[in-house]
Structure 1
Amino acid sequence: MRWTVEETDTLLPFLLAHVTGKSRNNIKSILARGQVRVNGKVVRQFDSALASGMVVEAVLWAEPPRPELPFPVLFEDEDIIVIDKPAGLLTIANDKEKVRTAYHILTDYMAERTKGGRVFVVHRLDRDTSGVVLFAKNEEAKRAFQSDWDKRVVRRGYRALVEGTPEPAEGRVKSFLRETSTHLMYSGAPGRDAKEAITHYRTLFAGGGYALMDIDLKTGRKNQIRVHMSDLGHPIAGDKQYKAKTNPLGRLCLHANELRLIDPRTGEERSFVSREPAPFRRLCRASGAPRKKGV
């Protein structure tokens, strides 16, 4: 493909205007692979200046197939990638597991797609919790999120399948969390080594010995939801560590279903949503209990 520049421009917007069906990231990849020439010379810099009369050529050979990921990508742009992490997969490495992590998988994925492609951990979910996780794709985005994470996050929403039916059906739990020598968390008295934890909860519907809860974290402490549901006398199904007596799905029944935050680049509010696994709902409907309006 060949074009003659008619007026002053820069390379990326020029190509976006003339190459159909390609996103900004697609065009940047084409540039990075040396597929664009200006006046006969390969140009890789996306913000290169163009003047009237210059000749731009692009060789658009078929792109190699993208590597597949073992989980869905909910959203991706030049700054972030948001995934739907399955239960059982670590977000980042720990002492026992170094390779099979969401971070490692995404690092390989980005490196295969783009030369120098990387990801950066911004926050994490426990291994046994499924749902929405956001990674940054560059240092600038990582710093912007990490430096002001609590203020940027508008909502951290979870769905939890708990044993029994909480009464009242909605409320607020506030406690001070401490950690034992065996790394279990528990609610205790305020003190220097205790961290305030606040959880809002609402029962969506109940039946069959379980209730599906909508949970809004106001603080993000280790195992916070698990401890607070256990404190209410309604532990999360499958959470033997925090006193659950049942394990109907062979997993911890906790899912991060929404991450709503302020985009540091645009200042706009964004919401990333992953619906809770269908078995969470089916177990509650075993008794024929109606689904609450708006759920």
Structure 2
Amino acid sequence: MSVPDSEATAGLKAFAVGEDAAGTRLDQWLAAQTAPNLSRSRIQAIIRGGDVRIDGKVVLEPKSKLVAGTLVTLGMPEPEPAEPQAEAIELAILFEDDDLIVIDKPAGLVVHPGAGNWTGTLVNALIHHCGDTLSGIGGVKRPGIVHRLDKETSGVLVVAKNDLAHRALSDAFADHGRTGDLERAYHAVLWGVPPRPAGIVDAPLGRSGTDRTKRAVVPEGRPDARHAVTHYQIVEKFGGRADATAFASLVECRLETGRTHQIRVHMGHIGHPLIGDQTYGRAFRTKANKLPDDLKDLVADFPRQALHARLLQFRHPRTDEILRFEAAYPSDFAELVETLRRLPSE
């Protein structure tokens, strides 16, 4: 039974579970409530994505059994977008041949269309640059995309231009360099400095229980927990003190897994979130008040998470050649590093 709109939160549908539905599978029952708009498989994907709650608690198992008298809320998905269209967006191309294209992605560019970003993405730019041949690779919404960078993360990214390259590169990224030649390195500017020169963060990630757009370190046994491992090494410390602490640090991160927001969440988990990260490090912004006036505003107001995909190496899917690309810091990241280098050491 659907609850009147006045009792449902905007963007959600609410359904009261009657006596006749007690013991029924959640996915089966919700599919019946929403038919014909949402299929059962679509309902299952929405549940696993963390967008269904029973009496306010997220439920991730589609076959969960219903209890009479409870209230089920369903986050209604965005309508399926039309096929991405070509858009003339300038690209910084590091390499291109008939099989693949490597770009230096600027901060602010979304990789593929999604909620709130149906146009103006890298995919729209690639369809314009590469022509119709790209549109069938890797699915309609994300042609040729084998890995991604967050919107506000800059740096090296490779895109496949045909099925051969898509299969080979997808396999390489799925393996994360454990058995192959794939190598990725990110540079991040952190608040403070990790306790050791190099370390490993091995902590499973899942959807945040308080905000479905965020990720968090979660217990290993939780249904949505995903294995996540980040290796880090300190590159430089800024504003060092006699007690071996520092105001900020530049670290290199290498991923053993590729989870959403992995570096950002893992660095925050060890107490050193990225400068500029308003999602996982907002509380640290006031640390900038300790800086000299001429440095304070630039650090406090850095407009994005200070994360840059510095290095990408992989084996060419056709020629078998090892390709290696490095992207210089963009101007905002470089200015942040240079500003922090001006901090006095005690």
Match in the other structure for 1:251: 304
Match in the other structure for 2:152: 128
Instruction: Pick closer, same or farther for the CA change 1:170–1:280 going to 2, 3 Å.
Output: farther
Q: Which amino acid aligns with 1:99?
A: T
Instruction: Pick closer, same or farther for the CA change 1:150–1:74 going to 2, 3 Å.
Output: same
Match in the other structure for 2:234: 203
Match in the other structure for 1:187: 217
Q: Which amino acid aligns with 1:73?
A: I
Residue ranges of structure 1 left out of the alignment (5+ in a row)? 1-66, 290-295
Match in the other structure for 1:75: 95
Indicate the structure with greater strand content.
1
Instruction: Pick closer, same or farther for the CA change 1:228–1:153 going to 2, 3 Å.
Output: farther
Q: Which amino acid aligns with 1:236?
A: L
1:173 aligns with 2:201: yes
SS of 1:121 mapped into structure 2: coil
- 1:106 offset after TM fit, Å? 1.6
Match in the other structure for 1:225: 263
Task: Choose the corresponding residue for 1:145, options 166, 169, 172.
Answer: 169
SS of 2:250 mapped into structure 1: strand
- 1:95 offset after TM fit, Å? 1.3
- 1:288 offset after TM fit, Å? 5.8
Q: Which amino acid aligns with 2:235?
A: L
Tell me whether 144-153 or 91-100 shows the greater mean CA deviation: 144-153
- 1:225 offset after TM fit, Å? 0.2
Q: String of CA shifts for 1:35-62, please: whole Å, max 9, x gaps.
A: xxxxxxxxxxxxxxxxxxxxxxxxxxxx
Q: Distance in 2 between matches of 1:179 and 1:140?
A: 33
Identity of aligned residues (%): 35
Whether the 8 Å CA contact 1:163–1:211 is kept in 2: the answer is yes
SS of 1:237 mapped into structure 2: coil
Q: Distance in 2 between matches of 1:174 and 1:117?
A: 37
Note the aligned Cα RMSD (angstroms).
Answer: 2.1
Whether the 8 Å CA contact 1:153–1:259 is kept in 2: the answer is no
Q: Distance in 1 between matches of 2:170 and 2:276?
A: 32
Whether the 8 Å CA contact 1:198–1:219 is kept in 2: the answer is yes
Q: Distance in 1 between matches of 2:219 and 2:187?
A: 28
Whether the 8 Å CA contact 1:131–1:255 is kept in 2: the answer is yes
Task: Choose the corresponding residue for 1:235, options 273, 286, 292.
Answer: 273
SS of 1:195 mapped into structure 2: coil
- 1:148 offset after TM fit, Å? 4.3
Match in the other structure for 1:263: 316
Q: String of CA shifts for 1:201-258, please: whole Å, max 9, x gaps.
A: 1111111422111111111011100011101111001112112423442121111111
Between structure 1 and structure 2, the one with the greater Rg is 1
- 1:178 offset after TM fit, Å? 1.1
Q: Distance in 1 between matches of 2:171 and 2:320?
A: 15
- 1:177 offset after TM fit, Å? 0.6
Q: Distance in 2 between matches of 1:288 and 1:77?
A: 47
SS of 1:196 mapped into structure 2: coil
- 1:70 offset after TM fit, Å? 2.6
Q: How does 1:88-167 map to 2 (within 5 A)?
A: 88-111=108-131, 116=133, 120-151=144-175, 152=180, 154-167=182-195
- 1:149 offset after TM fit, Å? 2.7
Whether the 8 Å CA contact 2:191–2:272 is kept in 1: the answer is yes
1:285 aligns with 2:341: yes
Q: Distance in 2 between matches of 1:264 and 1:178?
A: 32
SS of 2:182 mapped into structure 1: strand
Q: Distance in 2 between matches of 1:212 and 1:248?
A: 18
Q: Distance in 2 between matches of 1:172 and 1:283?
A: 28
- 1:183 offset after TM fit, Å? 2.4
Return the TM-score normalized by structure 2.
Answer: 0.59
